Amino acid sequence: MAVRSKQRWAALAGGVTVLALALTGCSGGGSSSGSGGEKTITWLVDNAENTVTAAEKVAEEFTAANPGIKVDIETRPQGGDGDNIVKTRLSTGDMADVFNYNTGSLLQQINPEQNLQPITNESYLSNVADSFKPVVTSSGQIYGVPFSTGMAGAVLYNKKVYEKLGLSVPKTWNEFMANSRKIKDAGIAPIIQSYQTTWTSQLFVLGDFANVMTADPNFASDYTANKAKYATNPAAVKGFEHLEEAAKAGFFNDDFASTTYQQAQDKLVNGEGAQYPILSFALNNIKVTHPDKLNDLGLFPLPGDDAAKNKLTVWMPGGTYIPKSTKNLEEAKKFQAFIASKAGCDAQTSAVGAAGPYLVKDCELPSDVAAAVKDMLPFFEDPAKNSPALEFLSPVKGPALEQITVEVGSGIRSGKDGAALYDEDVKKQAKQLNLPGWN
Amino acid sequence: MTLNTAPTPSAVRHLAPAAHTKRRKGSSPYPYWFYLPAAVIYTALFLVPTFASFFFSFTRWNLTEFTFIGLDNFVQFFQEPALLKGLTNTFIYGLVTSSLKVVLGMLLAVLLTSRIIARGYLRSVIFFPVLLSSIGVGIVFTVLMDPRNGMINEALATVGLKGPAWLTDPAWALLSVALVDVWKGVGLATVIYIAGIVSIPQEYFEAAKMDGATSIKSFFNITLPLARPATATVIILSLIGGLRSFDLIWAMTKGGPGFTSDVIASVIYKQYQAGFYGLSTAGNVVLFLIVTAIILPLSTFLNRKEVEQ
């Protein structure tokens, strides 16, 4: 009798513990309102070092200006894994109160009409530049405010290496290859590639887009309507072919397959590599990791065939959005208003510097911007000298481009085959979005 | 009065008197109500999701709403350019890991059932990697296999060999992951084989020794045939696991470089990541059918051979 009762108690205690654990697991994540009327909102950002640094400063300044509202920062990975987390959390209603994500075609993929809070009639939108509004609009409603600056997909280069070898900024592809040959002969890796961080492999194709638009101004609309393709359009296929050519010429660093994004930046500032095609927000990262070497770097657009029409491919900054599932809508809107204000820009500049122009009116760039940013600004200021990247002119973007460009850059697949493969890949995305002309 | 030698939860004690009266000779002493909790869990966690996924594989859905599109998802899945490579890689991976686990598992089991020092300690050491998290193992081996700074290539360099770029060379990526999978899983195969070998009656070995058989002869003529049930189990379990394998490959190469170490599971996962939920569900149905189509005939074949013995 005694034995049975003891084991009954043990079973009961075990059952209660399991039940309690299960219930704590069931309670979903969400913001908690603190004691004493203090509210806390959660903010999901990607885990790149400069994003987190900038986010922490913005959160700090926001709380200083709005005492009583704290901001808790959560991070997620970059690239495909991060997309996965954002899409899953939105689908399950478990998203933070505010979150950062891309603008343009990638915004369409997270179903804004269903998941995001429209802010079309909010007063703080009058602070946002008009050129930004189309990339956060869906079905006539605006959903986000710009976070961080505009940037370019171009080539960052080490000025010291160029000076030492007496090279000048290339304005055509042939000049770029000739420069690279001289750099290779001097024993320095001409072009840095970082395939361990797969998204960085896409720059040869995506950064070339301004040259595609120069040659074929209707490409974006034809592409969306399934009338133009990368493999068959002579201007568009060049991005893939250039990547293949540079790989075949042996211009990449020896360890390109295992180099990460951070390691590639280290190589560039240390002079082990001379040129790095990348998004210019890398400058923000370098400001944090190698501030003393930041001004050794310059920037030039990926060259096309025509020296006179050398345009820069520009990216709109990412956006900060509010999901419909938030329970702190008022505080979240105040936070968006703060980001879309001069105070918000200044907080970001003081944390990580500015690597391009802000898309918020009244925001100024400091006088000590990096040399590479100074190289970039004239292209931004003249609309004839830049083109938005394809993802801002067309909702069609396939998920496998980064793997395809890794294959082309590693010599596994030819440029033309890579372009054809990508054309196949985007079909899935177009069908998922139910675009006309693809079924 | 009742045969309650083991302590019973209160629910059973409540039912036992009723069962006592209904019990017929020869049938199970437990009423069918005993199946209920297990049946509920099995239905809710296995049957319902399986049939739901069969249904959703015919739709295009984004988790909240769906449109019925018939076999389009399957057509698109089979047109996936990475699929052929994924299928070949899946079969190569399954075969390599399964055969290595069978061979190495058997050899290790023979070693660990003979008289050697620290036998118990060695058995634990061999089994230990099975308990580790795949992601942890994947991350650690990715660092060890780094072509320039990794310990494996540095160790090979001290002996004068130049190690390949394990995870970034397209020719080696899949095999490197398969080798790590074998390192991690061979412990389980060994344990199953040990159980099989230990159950062989000692008289056979003594009789063979008296007839003058060498240890190799007795291995091939006694151990191997009599451990056949264990071999069948190891083959089936490791083949199923190998065909479905995902987490180790994802942690080490993410299907890279490019698509060269993609297997079906990672192809499906990438489609899920991109938000193509209907397409990836269709892919999972295809994977389920492929694994069933391979394992069912194989297991009937292996078990029939056993019975014939």
C-alpha A357: how far from chain center: 16
Q: Per-residue pLDDT tens for A259-312?
A: 989 999 999 999 999 999 999 888 888 888 898 998 999 999 999 888 888 889
Helix (H, G, I), strand (E, B) or coil at B308: helix
User: Which residues have C-beta within 8 Å of that of residue B123, sequence separation ≥ 6?
Assistant: B112, B190, B191, B194
Q: Per-residue pLDDT tens for A351-407?
A: 888 888 888 888 888 888 888 888 888 888 787 888 888 988 888 888 889 999 999
End-to-end CA distance of chain A: 73
Mean pLDDT, rounded, for A166-182? 92
Contact A6/B at CB under 8 A: no
Question: What is the C-alpha to C-alpha distance for residues A299 and A356, in angstroms, rounded to an integer?
Answer: 12
pLDDT higher than threshold 50 for residue A116: yes
Contact A14/B at CB under 8 A: no
Question: What is the C-alpha to C-alpha distance for residues B167 and B145, in angstroms, rounded to an integer?
Answer: 7
State residue A50's pLDDT score.
82
User: Which residues have C-beta within 8 Å of that of residue B276, sequence separation ≥ 6?
Assistant: A428, A432
Question: What is the C-alpha to C-alpha distance for residues A277 and A258, in angstroms, rounded to an integer?
Answer: 17
Residues of B with CB under 8 A from a CB of A: 7, 9-10, 60, 62-64, 76, 79, 81-82, 146-148, 165, 167-170, 254-260, 270-276, 279
CA of B42, closest CA in chain A: separation in Å?
A: 19
Task: Give the number of beta-carbon pairs within 8 Å between A and B.
Answer: 89
Substitution target in A8, A105, A403, A408 with the highest count of B β-carbons within 10 Å is A403
User: Which residues have C-beta within 8 Å of that of residue A61, sequence separation ≥ 6?
Assistant: A338, A343, A344, A346, A347
| Residues of chain B neighbouring A83 (CB-CB closer than 8 A) | 273-275
Domain B81-308: homologous superfamily in CATH: MetI-like (1.10.3720.10)
Q: Please, what's the largest Cα pairwise distance for chain B? A: 79
CA of A170, closest CA in chain B: separation in Å?
A: 30
Cα A336 to Cα A113, A307, A330, distances in angstroms:
18, 42, 10
pLDDT higher than threshold 70 for residue A70: yes
Question: What is the C-alpha to C-alpha distance for residues A313 and A326, in angstroms, rounded to an integer?
Answer: 35
Contact A78/B at CB under 8 A: no
Taking the CB of residue B262, how many other CB atoms lie within 10 A of it? 27
Mean pLDDT, rounded, for A57-61? 94
State residue B6's pLDDT score.
46
Contact A111/B at CB under 8 A: yes
Query: What parts of chain B have a pLDDT lower than 50?
Result: 1-20
State residue B147's pLDDT score.
84
Q: Per-residue pLDDT tens for A124-137?
A: 999 888 888 888 98
**A257 vs B10: CB contact, 8 Å cut-off?**
no
**B271 vs A257: CB contact, 8 Å cut-off?**
no
Q: Which residues pair with A287 in a beta bridge?
A: none
Helices A415-432 and B72-79, axial angle in degrees (round to 10):
160
CA of B143, closest CA in chain A: separation in Å?
A: 11
**B79 vs A424: CB contact, 8 Å cut-off?**
yes
Question: What is the C-alpha to C-alpha distance for residues A343 and A360, in angstroms, rounded to an integer?
Answer: 11
User: Which residues have C-beta within 8 Å of that of residue B99, sequence separation ≥ 6?
Assistant: none
**Nearest by CB to A257, which of B60, B165, B275?**
B165
CA of A315, closest CA in chain B: separation in Å?
A: 21
**Nearest by CB to B63, which of A8, A91, A431?**
A91
State residue B77's pLDDT score.
83
**B168 vs A258: CB contact, 8 Å cut-off?**
yes
C-alpha A92: how far from chain center: 24
Same fold, A35-149+317-352 and A151-315+374-432: yes
**A255 vs B259: CB contact, 8 Å cut-off?**
no
CA of B135, closest CA in chain A: separation in Å?
A: 15
CA of B147, closest CA in chain A: separation in Å?
A: 8
Domain ranges of chain B: 81-308
Write down the residue that tokens 């160029």 correspond to.
A162
| Residues of chain B neighbouring A429 (CB-CB closer than 8 A) | 274
| Residues of chain A neighbouring B77 (CB-CB closer than 8 A) | none
pLDDT higher than threshold 70 for residue A344: yes
Rg (CA), chain B: 25
State residue B149's pLDDT score.
82
Question: What is the C-alpha to C-alpha distance for residues A284 and A353, in angstroms, rounded to an integer?
Answer: 6
State residue A34's pLDDT score.
45
User: Which residues have C-beta within 8 Å of that of residue B278, sequence separation ≥ 6?
Assistant: B56, B57, B58, B59, B60, B61, B66, B69, B73
**B62 vs A413: CB contact, 8 Å cut-off?**
no
Cβ pair B250, B269 in contact under 8 A = yes
- Amino acid B241 reads G
Domain A151-315+374-432: homologous superfamily in CATH: Periplasmic binding protein-like II (3.40.190.10)
* Smallest CA–CA distance from B275 into chain A, residue: A87
DSSP assignment of A69-119: EEEEEEEE-SHHHHHHHHHHHHHTT---SEEEE--THHHHTT-HHHHB---
| CATH hierarchy code of domain A35-149+317-352 | 3.40.190.10
pLDDT higher than threshold 50 for residue A5: yes
| B-proximal residues of A, 413-432, CB under 8 Å | 413, 421, 424-425, 427-429, 431-432
Domain ranges of chain A: 35-149+317-352, 151-315+374-432
User: Which residues have C-beta within 8 Å of that of residue A106, sequence separation ≥ 6?
Assistant: A83, A391, A397
| B-proximal residues of A, 80-99, CB under 8 Å | 80-81, 83-84, 87, 91-92
CA dihedral B125, B129, B130, B134 (to 10 degrees): 170
Q: What are phi and psi of A100, to 5 degrees?
A: -95, 145
Q: Per-residue pLDDT tens for A213-258?
A: 888 889 988 998 889 999 999 999 999 999 999 999 999 998 898 8
Substitution target in A428, A433, A438 with the highest count of B β-carbons within 10 Å is A428
Q: Which residues pair with A33 in a beta bridge?
A: A39
State residue B17's pLDDT score.
46
For residue A4, name the pLDDT band (cuts at 50, 70, 90). Answer: low
Mean pLDDT, rounded, for A407-427? 91
Question: What is the C-alpha to C-alpha distance for residues B253 and B167, in angstroms, rounded to an integer?
Answer: 7
| B-proximal residues of A, 17-46, CB under 8 Å | none
**Nearest by CB to A407, which of B63, B76, B259?**
B259
CA of A309, closest CA in chain B: separation in Å?
A: 33
User: Which residues in A211-224 are b (16+ Cβ under 10 Å) and which e?
Assistant: bbbbbbeebbeebb
Q: Residue A150, class by beta-carbon neighbours within 10 Å (0-12 exposed, 13-18 middle, 19+ buried)?
A: buried
| Residues of chain B neighbouring A195 (CB-CB closer than 8 A) | 168, 256-257
